[in-house]
A and B are shown apart, each in its own frame.
Chain A
Amino acid sequence: MSLLKVEGLGKSYTADKKILKNIDFEIKAGEFVSIIGPSGAGKSTMLRCMNRMIEFNEGKIIFNNQDVGSLNKKELRKLRTNIGMVFQHYNLVPRLSVIENVLHGRYGYKTTLQGLLGRYTEEEKERAFYLLEKLGIHEHAYKRCDQLSGGQQQRVGICRALIQEPKLILCDEPIASLDPNSSKVIMDHLKSISLEMGITCLVNLHQVEVAQHYSDRIIGLNNGEIVFDGNGRNLGEEQIHKIYGTKSRELITA
């Protein structure tokens, strides 16, 4: 059963340069898919087309049997509650506490007024603490986010995505600004989320080896086109050359 289906997706900001060209792929529920490719290949743009944070020009995206491109404002909001998002720079509100930031993930389910008054049900609060505990940061729940390390902030970001109870989580280079140790923690958490909770993960990554180690499937993007789509084991020297334009020996692999 496919959760996400992309057909002929195209995006351009100016008439003469296309960021994405004719992207086709299909993702099954529960899959862990990595997207790799050089900077400027269109990874972030593609990811943001999935929940229409960026409007695409051509093609079709079907998520959970809904045509993403044709949704109106209200339906789009409903769709977004089903898609969590994790960012490279965490995108938390630094001055607010960890628990407040996690609960921000519930706004999609609330009316504007409930949101303004900050009314959360007991279940939501318990769920928030449960998630914080699961990711090992519950002792920081009342701290301000700017007092946390990068790895901890990213875990708050993941909690915020999880409390949405999403079917899909989009991760835009979640470990690009973290040290190797925190990177491993974050990737392990993402992997266990996909395995235990059955949430589909679509992750933009810079590190080929990380992608090979964690994902069920890798999509290689170069210059707005898919140049590789398959299991990480099949990603050989030649394919890497196609994606990055260099031999893998010449890449820094960490």
Chain B
Amino acid sequence: MNEQTMRKSRWQTGMFLLIIIVLSYLSSAITAFNFVQGLATIPKALGWIFSNLMVTQESLEKLPKILEKLAETIFMSIAATTLAAVVSLFLGVMGSKTTKVNNFLSVFARFIASVSRNIPVVAWSLVLLISFGQNSVTGFLALFVGTVGFLTRAFIESIDEASQSSVEALTATGATYFQIVSKAVIPQALPQMISWVLFMVETNIRNATLVGILTGTGIGYTFDMYYKMLNYNAVALVTLCIVITVIVVDLISNHIRKVIL
């Protein structure tokens, strides 16, 4: 890089910032969004939140029911994630450059991964809602499909990264395909893969709330129900429960990660 290109890249950075500012101004003008007014309403909104979204004695009586639904949601997320992990492991091995069996299966695996990943989980739940109706299977499937897409992509990368050299060495010893995959590729990529699975469990517990609102299952449904009944105290309690759960799951999986990596 010489002096001229350095100058040029600085000039480009300046232009880039300017473009962003102009773009955001234009879009707020078009949508008639007043930034100042938006800022000004924040204190009022916060005031409303603190006056209405308070956990009261009365709402605490609903706690057992909420916890039951929460447990259902957590287990559904875990089940969806672990089952998806099994499917993704298979697709990941097929899709990886170093362990693919043939090009057709590799493209096929990547195609499935990209379709299920690029359709948002919200869209999946609404689509599946039409075909499966309002029950926990729908929620489970919506999470499952999205997770397969994401995990397959992550597994492909973990496997690619971990295996190249040892695959070559084991091929040279005359080992068979399944021996190489099970004894060289999987052991090397496993910690990374478990880490992704844990990440997906966390994400899915968060997503399950949203999916629940849409498909009428689990904690999301409870949230939606109290919200529509204008029972904001109960809504606050549900939210609090979700936040605590997510934090706890986060802590647990961080600890597991530290141990295995």
Contact = CB atoms under 8 A, between A and B. Distances in A.
B64 interface: no
Contacts of A157: 169
A92 B190 CA distance: 16
Interface residues of A, number: 34
A91 B170 CA distance: 9
A87 B169 contact: yes
B174 interface: yes
Interface string A87-101: 101111111100000
A87 B173 contact: no
B176 interface: yes
B68 interface: no
A91 B188 contact: no
A150 interface: no
B179 A110 contact: yes
Given A91-B166, A93-B188, A118-B183, A51 B178 contact: no
A118 B166 CA distance: 17
B115 interface: no
Contacts of A110: 179
Contacts of B133: none
A107 B175 contact: yes
Contacts of A78: 174
A4 to B, nearest CB: 16
B188 A105 contact: no
A104 B168 contact: no
A112 interface: yes
A94 B191 CA distance: 13
Most chain A C-beta atoms within 10 Å of own C-beta, residue among B166, B168, B172, B182: B172
B173 A107 contact: yes
Given A93-B184, A94-B188, A116-B179, A85 B173 contact: yes
Nearest to B177: A112
A116 B172 contact: no
A164 interface: yes
Contact of B184 (A81, A104, A112): A104
B254 interface: no
B165 interface: yes
Contact of A104 (B170, B188, B190): B170
A87 to B, nearest CB: 6
Contacts of A83: 172
A146 B188 CA distance: 11
Given A53-B168, A93-B187, A160-B169, A108 B175 contact: yes
A115 B182 CA distance: 9
Given A95-B190, A104-B169, A104-B175, 8 more contacts: A80-B172, A80-B173, A87-B168, A92-B166, A104-B170, A104-B183, A108-B175, A157-B169
- Name the 3 nearest CB pairs between A and B, nearest first: A108-B174, A107-B175, A115-B179
11 contacts: A53-B168, A81-B174, A84-B172, A85-B169, A91-B166, A107-B179, A108-B175, A115-B178, A115-B183, A116-B183, A160-B169
Interface of A: 51, 53, 77-81, 83-85, 87, 89-96, 104-110, 112, 115-116, 118, 157, 160-161, 164
